[in-house]
A and B are shown apart, each in its own frame.
Chain A
Amino acid sequence: MINVLEIAAPTLEWGLLSPLLVILGGACLGVLIEAVAPREMRYVLQSALAALAVVVAFGLTTLNWIQATPQLAAVDLLALDGPTYVFWALLLISGLAAVALFAERALGGGQSAFASSAATVPGSPLEREADALHREHTEIFPLLLFSLFGMMIFASANDSLTVFVAVEIFSLPLYLLTGMARRRRLLSQEAALKYFLLGSLASAIMLYGISLLYGFAGGFKFAAIDQAITAGAGSMPLLLTGMLLTSVGLLFKIGAVPFHIWTPDVYMGAPSPVTAFMAVATKTAAVAALLRVFYVALGGLQWNWQLLFAVVAVATMLLGSTMALAQNDIKRLLAYSAIAHAGFILVGVVGAVAAGEGVNLPSVAAIAFYLFTYGIATFGAFSVITMLRRAGGEANSLEAWKGLGRSNPVIATLMTLFMLSFAGIPLTAGFVGKLAVFESAWVGGYGWLVLVAVVMSVIAAFFYLKVVVAMWFQDADEESVGTVETPSLWTWSVLVVSAVATLVLGLIPGGVLTLLTDAAQFIR
């Protein structure tokens, strides 16, 4: 029998939820600007509003992080604890970098990376007309904020239904953004179609898993699922199938094998600023959600999922590293690199070292640090990618990078730095990140996995060095060489900040690691 409904008005913790509300409010205001502001003012208004919303939300997040005690909020749907604040901060930093790259208009003849009118057919007279009128889509900024809002909910969700809704909130704007490239629009639309169909499939499978977990536990709250597992009642096949199907959706968003197929195509087809945002923020949010689902809700099944993730991690690292070797397009190469990085992150997840007394580096802190180092190097690399151009758009083929060290040593040096950080060479941030996740797995009792991961990172270093070799040791080919265009302050700031952060985190990572370690305790 269903009980009689008693409705009590929910209380919301407005102060604690303020970062979310600022981002959502900024997005809604952006939609309003589209409706009322004259066309020529929209770009300035939208980019300023988006940047302001992200900065304010970041300030509020930091304030709450310092002041508030960890607690459940919004009728226990969100858990506002240390990891949530850490991942919110990471997401907002990548959101700000994405706003900067989205707002870049100095490259490619004073036009943004987005289609002048996405509704027109590629190559049609209407498209040429929109180009001639210098039309542009300023809706990209509200879409970015909506996506960021969904990711922040995703990272803090304490309820499996909220996880599903958050996935859709952040994915739907991304599907659209993927299809809006200015150049090579057929590729871009194809990427959007593939991303949309595969993404919806993964969400649907995850939803079925969530329904099975609900059937097992009788509730959506992570605490309820955890209690039901501890109590040992209920049907075990239901629980295990539910766990497997739920992990499908999360692993898809992370880009882990065997759910990685979309990654290269979508990374290649999407406009580079969107690719950078997707590569960093989607992965951060999805890893945060994965950690919470598996450490908090399914923590009682640790012995089951640790081995599963270990196998997935090995497959992911192997496939990402080897397939990247064969790539000749820099965005595709970075897509396979992103897959390999997902594998390294999963190595950290397998460790499952909980925070507590006497624990040097909890897994959550190690993974957050890894995501941070990966994120800054990714944004740096993609800002360089947007700058290297030739007639008709970006020069993404590796041929175009040959001889860059001689023609533009500054940019080549920065790109080399990011590649070395990806590869995990000492004195860069990536090295400390790799060390951190390996330590997590080692302490968690998965020594063999660490050994495999070390071998994989050597293989992965090859293809990063391939880019470095092309830039410094190969002669430029007249036909295919690209030229470095000078961007505006937006891209420059992203580039410089990522380069400095990559070096600083590589040389003195202690402060950030301590900060993350102190904030690694999940609440239930």
Chain B
Amino acid sequence: MNPEGYLVLSAILFAIGVAGFLLRRNAIIVFMSIELMLNATNLSFVAFANYHGNLDGLIAAFFVMVVAAAEVVVGLAIIVAVYRARRSASVDDANLMKF
């Protein structure tokens, strides 16, 4: 199988994730962009696994999913704590420290 199409799709998804991280201002959406990047990577893992005909990439996808889940737990806890203290989840408002 030619993985090219899947890889291009994965790169596009990853780029959308990076763009979302850079452009969006709500911490939750920024965090969702990171999840999108992880899932884009999963797609490329699976495509490469199929191309190479081994299972390593498929297993990697499972690891990434578990790690992403753990990240959600920690990340949302931090975002919620910040939101409760400031009544805002905008990353622009987190500006007490500069340079």
Contacts and interface: CB of A to CB of B under 8 A. Distances in A.
Interface in B40-96: 40-41, 44-45, 47-57, 59-60, 63-64, 67, 70-71, 74-75, 77-79, 81-82, 84-86, 91, 94-96
Contacts of B67: 164-165, 168
Nearest to A220: B56
Contact of B96 (A3, A161, A187, A192): A187
B99 A220 contact: no
A326 B60 CA distance: 45
A196 B74 contact: yes
A175 B74 contact: yes
A323 B30 CA distance: 28
Given A190-B96, A190-B97, A214-B48, A2 B82 contact: no
A208 B82 CA distance: 29
Contacts of A3: 53-55
Contacts of A326: 99
Contacts of A176: 74, 77-78
B78 A196 contact: yes
Contacts of B49: 2
A119 B52 CA distance: 47
A235 B85 CA distance: 50
Contacts of A119: 81
B14 A208 contact: yes
B82 A197 contact: no
A290 B64 CA distance: 21
A497 B41 CA distance: 46
Nearest to B47: A215
A121 interface: yes
Contact of B52 (A5, A207, A218): A218
A197 B31 contact: yes
A196 B94 CA distance: 13
Interface string B14-48: 10010001000001001100100110110011011
A147 to B, nearest CB: 12
A212 interface: yes
Interface string A294-334: 00000000000000000000000000000100100000000
Interface in A144-200: 161, 164-165, 168, 172, 175-176, 179, 185-187, 189-194, 196-197, 200
Given A161-B60, A185-B85, A186-B85, A207 B54 contact: no
A264 B71 contact: no
Interface string A113-131: 0000011011000000000
Contact of B31 (A118, A189, A200, A214): A200
Contacts of B94: 190, 193-194
Most buried by B among A118, A165, A187: A165
A403 interface: no
Q: Is the interface of A mostly helix, strand, loop or mixed?
A: helix
Contact of A208 (B44, B50, B77): B44
A216 to B, nearest CB: 9
B60 A214 contact: yes
A211 B59 CA distance: 12
A172 B47 CA distance: 29
Contacts of B81: 118-119, 179, 189, 192
Contact of A268 (B34, B71, B86, B97): B97
B74 A191 contact: no
Contacts of A393: none
B74 A122 contact: no
Most buried by B among A172, A179, A211: A211
B77 to A, nearest CB: 7
A204 B96 CA distance: 26
B70 to A, nearest CB: 6
Nearest to B17: A204
Nearest to B45: A211
A217 to B, nearest CB: 9
Contacts of B50: 2
Contacts of B60: 161, 211, 214, 220
Given A3-B54, A168-B67, A194-B94, A211 B41 contact: yes
B41 A208 contact: yes
Most buried by B among A122, A205, A208: A208
Contacts of B53: 1-3
Contact of B78 (A192, A205, A214): A192
Q: Which 10 A-B pairs have the closest CB atoms?
A: A215-B48, A218-B52, A204-B37, A265-B97, A190-B94, A211-B44, A200-B34, A172-B74, A168-B67, A207-B41
22 contacts: A121-B85, A161-B60, A168-B71, A175-B75, A186-B85, A189-B81, A189-B82, A190-B94, A190-B96, A193-B79, A197-B91, A200-B75, A207-B38, A208-B44, A211-B45, A214-B45, A215-B48, A215-B52, A218-B48, A218-B54, A323-B99, A326-B99
Interface of B: 3, 7, 14, 17, 21, 27, 30-31, 34, 37-38, 40-41, 44-45, 47-57, 59-60, 63-64, 67, 70-71, 74-75, 77-79, 81-82, 84-86, 91, 94-97, 99
Given A2-B49, A190-B95, A192-B78, 17 more contacts: A168-B67, A176-B78, A186-B85, A186-B86, A189-B78, A190-B82, A190-B94, A193-B27, A197-B30, A197-B91, A200-B34, A201-B37, A204-B34, A211-B41, A220-B60, A265-B97, A323-B99
Interface of A: 1-3, 5, 118-119, 121-122, 161, 164-165, 168, 172, 175-176, 179, 185-187, 189-194, 196-197, 200-201, 204-205, 207-208, 211-212, 214-215, 218-220, 264-265, 268-269, 323, 326
